[in-house]
Amino acid sequence: MGILNVTPDSFSDGGHFLSATAALQHARTLVAEGAAIIDVGGESTRPGATPVTTQEELDRVLPVIEAIRAELPVIISIDTSKPEVMRAAVQAGAGFINDVRALRAEGALQAVVDLNRDQSVPVCLMHMQGEPHTMQQSPHYDDVTQHVSSFLAQRIQHCLAAGIPRDRLVIDPGFGFGKTLTHNLTLLAQLNTLLSLQAPLLVGLSRKSMIGALLDAQPAARLHGSLALAALAVLKGALIVRAHDVQATRDAVKIAAAVRQAE
Ligand code: 9MG
């Protein structure tokens, strides 16, 4: 899953992909490098990020989704928690919903139920403690893996009870979302325990602050750390890897997947 941020405050792309033309060009690169999914996001979820209005988010993502849809044979994911954005993005051509709030926003669960009535629109349910602007202030868990696992199990149950078929659900522990370095490392070391939830596992580790903390590296210098984490996550059972550097990540996860298959 290649990352396409269409936000002016994105920590990793410096806000370069704000025009639909520039975004489309970056999408072409991601697809040429081997992305099967492109995750289009119009609101930054990095720690401390300022929320945007629904209209602003729509204005950022819709032209990009339409342009990608018209040209590239790739699954378009919409990275949003807002039901209005989910509905409009799917109408414009998105085929996957990536929700860092796991459909907890008002109306989001119903939107995904409705969107899955006549078509298949899988949704990624991610764990996050708190909200982006405060989540890194003092994250606390008694047992982080147990907490994340039971949160995701509950969200799966809510989705099933609302009528979303099980095969539309993808789960994600939410690395860096209300978690310390120790929480992130523990979650990664125990990632395979989430496989018992019987949903495909998505991970986002690319250029995250845990790499900065371990290597004392700025986002632009976190490629090698990102590749190491992506490979480890695949070895522990991750099926989808959300990444900025698609070509390098694909190579790394291909190797890890081959080792996992040999296990
Ligand atoms: C939008 N976004 C930023 N980081 C992410 C992560 O780790 N997982 C998912 N699903 N989305 C993310």
- Asked if 123 and 159 count as a contact pair (C-beta separation under 8 A), the reply is yes
**Mutation choice for ligand 1 from 57, 100, 194, CB with most ligand atoms inside 8 A:** 100
Give which of 211, 213, 214, 216 is closest to 245, Cα–Cα. 211
Tell me the best of 98, 175, 205 to mutate to test the pocket of ligand 1, counting ligand atoms within 8 Å of each CB and taking the most: 98
For position 113, what pLDDT does the model report? 98
From 173, 159, 161, select the one nearest 122 (Cα to Cα): 159
The amino acid that residue 201 corresponds to is L
Predicted confidence at residue 3, as pLDDT, reads 98
pLDDT of residue 11: 33
CA distances (Å), origin 117, targets 122, 169, 176, 200: 12, 15, 33, 21
Place of tokens 């996050």: 128
At 132 the pLDDT is 82
C-alpha distances (whole Å) from 12 to each of 17, 24, 162, 178, 218 are 11, 17, 36, 19, 10
CB 256 within 8 A of CB 250: no
The pTM of the full predicted model, rounded to 2 decimals, is 0.95
> Six-digit token pair at 196?
């018992």
Instruction: Please identify every stretch of the chain with a pLDDT value under 70, giving residue numbers as ranges.
Output: 9-18
100 CA to centre of ligand 1 in angstroms:
6
Is residue 208 annotated as a catalytic residue, yes or no?
Answer: yes
Ligand 1 atom nearest to 204, measured from its CA = 7
| pLDDT for 9 | 57
